[in-house]
């Protein structure tokens, strides 16, 4: 029916990138795992018919198995991917699953952190949203999807920052934010 109606089917995922907490190999690997757990968990079945192998290894039998029929049905089923992106975090290796918060996936053996080992944040803190502004993270997410999932059509469905500026024509704060994220997007294309 999709072919006859000439429509497109896709999905929106919340995204963020992860930067290693330190230069230690275990933190570099933790950042890669968190990217896979955040994005690959949803995208890998759509493009390859199954969950990422690292998830299979770490989650084990708690991760459902697809039947061959389900794999065929889901593989290639998305015409586009849409992402919501606002910020990114550092990733730090953590072997003790009891120390990992509910926000983080304890199976990834990593925690997400606002500050790196030197106490520095990713980007600057936005005065209105309280989030750290890190356009490079949008670039990282786009490149991750582009390279890992055969360069699919990608739409950015959410990105931005609030402002309490009473004059919308003089809104340098948001203009700078949007320009930086557009430049990151252009660099990823």
Higher-confidence residue of 90 and 111: namely 90
Give all strands (DSSP E) within 52-169, no chain letters: 80-85, 89-93, 110-113, 124-125, 132-133, 153-158
Look at residue 2 in the predicted model and tell me its pLDDT.
62
Give all strands (DSSP E) within the chain, no chain letters: 10-15, 18-20, 80-85, 89-93, 110-113, 124-125, 132-133, 153-158
Q: Looking at residue 168, what DSSP letter applies?
A: T
User: How confident is the model over 20-42, as a mean pLDDT?
Assistant: 96
CA distances from 131 to 85, 86, 100, 125, 161 (A): 11, 8, 21, 6, 9
8-188: which CATH number, 3.20.20.80, 3.40.50.720, 3.40.50.2300, 3.90.700.10?
A: 3.20.20.80
Higher-confidence residue of 175 and 1: namely 175
Look at residue 100 in the predicted model and tell me its pLDDT.
62
For 68, the token pair is 């061959």
Does residue 1 register a pLDDT over 60? no
CA distances from 17 to 6, 49, 172 (A): 33, 23, 26
Radius of gyration of the chain (CA): 18
- Record the pTM: 0.92
135: closest CA among 186, 93, 77, 181? 181
pLDDT tens profile 119-145: 999 999 998 999 999 999 999 999 999
d(CA 68, CA 61): 17
Range with lowest mean pLDDT among 15-24, 91-100, 127-136, 159-168: 91-100
Range with lowest mean pLDDT among 1-5, 39-43, 56-60, 130-134: 1-5
Does residue 102 register a pLDDT over 80? no
Q: Looking at residue 36, what DSSP letter applies?
A: I
For the CA atoms of 25, 30, 32, 36, what is the dihedral angle to 10 degrees?
160
Range with lowest mean pLDDT among 6-10, 11-15, 38-42, 114-118: 6-10
For 154, the token pair is 């990608």
């Amino acid at each position: 029916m999709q072919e006859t109606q000439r429509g497109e089917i896709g999905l929106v995922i919340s995204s963020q990138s992860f930067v290693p907490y330190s230069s230690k190999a275990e933190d570099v690997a933790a950042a890669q795992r968190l990217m896979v757990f955040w994005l690959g968990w949803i995208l890998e079945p759509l493009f390859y018919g199954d969950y990422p192998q690292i998830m299979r290894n770490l989650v084990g039998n708690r991760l459902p198995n697809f039947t061959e029929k389900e794999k065929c049905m889901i593989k290639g089923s998305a015409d586009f991917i849409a992402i919501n992106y606002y910020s990114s975090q550092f990733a730090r290796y953590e072997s003790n699953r009891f120390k990992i918060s509910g926000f983080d996936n304890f199976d990834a053996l990593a925690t997400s952190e606002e500050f790196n080992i030197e106490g520095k944040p990713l980007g600057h803190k936005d005065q209105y949203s309280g989030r750290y502004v890190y356009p490079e993270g949008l670039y990282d997410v786009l490149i991750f999807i582009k390279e890992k999932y055969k360069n699919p059509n990608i739409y950015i469905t959410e990105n931005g920052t609030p402002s309490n500026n009473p004059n919308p024509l003089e809104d340098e704060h948001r203009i700078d934010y949007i320009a930086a994220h557009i430049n990151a997007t252009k660099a990823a294309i």
